[in-house]
Structure 1
């Protein structure tokens, strides 16, 4: 069987199956974009068929692209499954074990009435389920008569409400910060594109969010699209990206502005011809188009992991919509270190707009320019725990990733480390099956060995402990975060070493940036060759 489920995916399935034994049958799972919702419900369908006594599984998808993805994943999980598709002219449900159907087709009474013997309903992008069409379809198939229903979404929010009428409980949630910490998603760094001439106060609200047409006109009239193009050249010239806009006209104009500054860009929108849209998406996948601009058609079902820049040129009051947009850029891919979020801002606004901190449900304070989501969260945790940590670290005040004098780095696989001058570095290893970490030291002469106080600690505390040990083991021998040399131009020797190592150096990198790349490569290679001792 392909697509072996990850540990949290197994937990999500178990939470649903346990939840259905408690008397509630309409249950939801919230997983961040990139967590593999389709893999989870494909395994769920495969596991549940034996207990349905001959009845079938119905998967309800919101968009055409999601139908194809779901059918492909179901067959990858179990190639022997009979998967039928019901949409438009397709009506392959008669002998199927699992039926994947579009909500638009099921909205037609005669089409849904032809489908019999449904014992499990799976709803993809289930934040749409409060809509009248979904309610009618779910009622028809027995959702209010005890048939188990599993809903999957990245965000259980809907600006006009009503979801509580459908879903009785959310039985499993995974926060985006957990996904980033575990290496399943890329960290994201935000930068505001402030357009002083963009006055969002003149844009009205309808249905809980800014009106698309008025918002599009405000963006076009203010010169915001040219500002976006300039910002893309300045901050993301080497990144493939997606721009979200409120209208088709704005998407087309944004693509034109990007092309005018030398960025290969193309628009996509909902009513675009099917073949033309497929061709454009294929060009983006192949690297022939660097940036896609779109009128809100890529918020669901779009899977291009190499995307490393997201431009939110559709300011929104909906955290759910914001998560859907930004999530398109967080999937990991070879050579991808992080995702860059360019957030279009206007002059002071009366509207409370969603921002980067809304990607997580945790309270982490305000995002700061240049800091990633994980850095903001960890700094918040560190600030909260600073008083408790002080007694254990001899009252030395440590503000992780903030005022710390030490330069922290991570390898490509997510291992935190501090390089000390000479052939030594300190790093953290995670205890299997937990969110606790232990310190390890590596030297050229002695390899890996643990400290005397080999205690597993939560990540913020472990980072603080590691920093303290660096100062004890090698006072002044660590890489200083604010060293003056770090701001200078890279040396010829540095660049030559990067070429020999096969390390790509982004444009506008400083000497410090290049030194970090070299350290990350070297430490990653060393750790990759080690068999670490059991914790």
Structure 2
């Protein structure tokens, strides 16, 4: 079904928006001119609508001018259009605006940080007459350089996540107070946001490396997510949960995104790739195609987390891991806009992100994060801890291929403990696991070739078992684990051929066959 979206922005305010606006003006009353207030509202809650009305009311009430700061040109244009819809005369200060008279017909200015900073530094502008500075996406730190120019202005920072993008510059040092808006679950319950149906697939991320910004590096993410097994998991997850829906895929590296593009194109799905190096005219064509095509898939990197609004998106795929709470909410929020016929949207998580931060709609204490960001970041669950709780469950379609096998599970931890108690080599656990897998393949096949084909379906189970085994050893390297997995598969194939005919000879006997007999 193709979702329809009326591009004309709505100007009326919802009850919760009006309530928050009133609360913000109450905070402003009686405060000194350099008072800094921070306002949190989830993505999709209408932050631009709210601060546009705040600008209108402030200008009307105090007869002073307003400055709105953004960090991207797309946001500047969208903000300017919204302000105009509220009757606020405004001008976008871009590279073409070289001079700004003190007294002009505009009551509001919209500017990108770098452009305005250059004008003020070069003394091209003097903006002492600005009474209120509104900062969109206030968690970015690039805005701080401008604060010194507006020592006699009120500040209102607006963000979905009051957590600084730089731990060295916490937001409580910039803002005096935080106002928390309507939570996500409440906006869902009241019908303002779509409900997220979240599906997680356990992924091993211990090979990822952290960069100086505290998040996973692009190079290590590319190395993991461009692997064939991860591409297969992505395609399988899409076909299971999202096939035929308008889908937005977020990646951490261009190399990965291009790999995704080739994988889906080879499978016959309509897909395009977009990153921050895509030329503007090509970007516009791609986004237009994405908007008009009901089952379009768009794989992207570093481009669509802010300043992008396509309400008809039905599925979000996190084909990456992140330790940024802000990015986690931004990515999922791209699918949360509600439309007629769209009450829910799908989120496929391939980076253990929900296990790290909780579900998108879970309650969250923003005041704690605002006041104690260091403590919050220190307590984010680590990958090793998350993965220690992963349990492999054989998919139903694979289990059906082994219908003649009564048991397909294998408790590596229990077998490891028994091996130690009986003074056996730890490697005996792997040997016993290989024999069980071989038996499963043989008793569900008529030829060794069929059995070896079935063994290919056990790759995910094999990786899970080997990784469990490796964690129980005192020290293992990434290379050793990878060698163990390949050695396991090789030995499984050899063992299948070795015992296949012996099993066939014994299969006609009345007594059931035990593994130890083979």
TM over 0.5: yes
Give 1:256's aligned residue.
262
The counterpart of 1:247, out of the listed 245, 248, 253, is 253
Change (3 A) 1:137 1:178: same
Change (3 A) 1:324 1:87: same
- Name the residue aligned to 2:73: 64
C-alpha displacement of 1:207:
2.3
The equivalent of 2:235 in structure 1 is 229
Shift of residue 111 of structure 1? Answer: 6.4
1:121 to 119, 133, 150: 133
Q: Which residue of 2 aligns with 1:167?
A: 175
Structure 1 pair 105/360, CA: closer, same or farther in 2 (3 Å)? farther
TM-aligned CA deviation for residue 91 of structure 1: 5.1
Computed over aligned residues only, the root mean square deviation of the Cα atoms, in angstroms, reads: 2.5
Aligned to 1:30: 40
Partner of 1:207: 213
- Unpaired runs of 5+ residues, structure 1, are 364-535
Distance 1:300 1:234 in 2: 28
Q: Is this contact kept in 1: 2:316–2:334, CA < 8 A?
A: yes
TM value normalised by structure 1:
0.61
Q: Which has the higher contact order (CA 8 A, sep 6+)?
A: 2
Moved more, 227-236 or 273-282: 227-236
Q: CA deviation at 1:213?
A: 2.2
Distance, in Å, in 1 between the alignment partners of 2:99 and 2:245 is: 41
Higher strand share: 1
Q: CA deviation at 1:88?
A: 2.4
Gaps of 5+ in 2: 1-8, 367-518
Matched, 1:98 2:104: no
CA change 1:172–1:353 in 2 (3 A) is: closer
Equivalent in 132, 157, 162 of residue 156 of structure 1? 162
Offset of residue 47 of structure 1: 0.7
Structure richer in helix, relative to its length = 2
Q: Is the 8 A contact 2:44 2:333 kept in 1?
A: yes
SS class of match (2:268): coil
Describe the superposition over 1:116-160 as per-residue Cα deviations: whole angstroms up to 9, x where unpaired. Answer: 2211101001111xx2x4112122122xx4x11111111111353
* 2: CA distance, partners of 1:181 / 1:288: 27
Q: Distance in 2 between matches of 1:21 and 1:359?
A: 33
Q: CA deviation at 1:257?
A: 1.6
CA contact (8 A) 1:269 1:294 kept: yes
Per-residue displacement from partner, 1:410-444 (whole Å, max 9, x unpaired)?
xxxxxxxxxxxxxxxxxxxxxxxxxxxxxxxxxxx
Q: TM-score, normalised by structure 2?
A: 0.63
Which of 295, 302, 312 matches 2:308? 302
TM-aligned CA distance change 1:318 to 1:199, over 3 Å = closer
Query: Compared with structure 1, are the counterparts of its residues 112 and 269 closer, same or farther at alpha carbon in structure 2 (3 Å cutoff)?
Result: farther
2:21 alignment partner, one of 13, 29, 39: 13
Q: Distance in 1 between matches of 2:165 and 2:80?
A: 30
How many pairs were matched up? Answer: 349
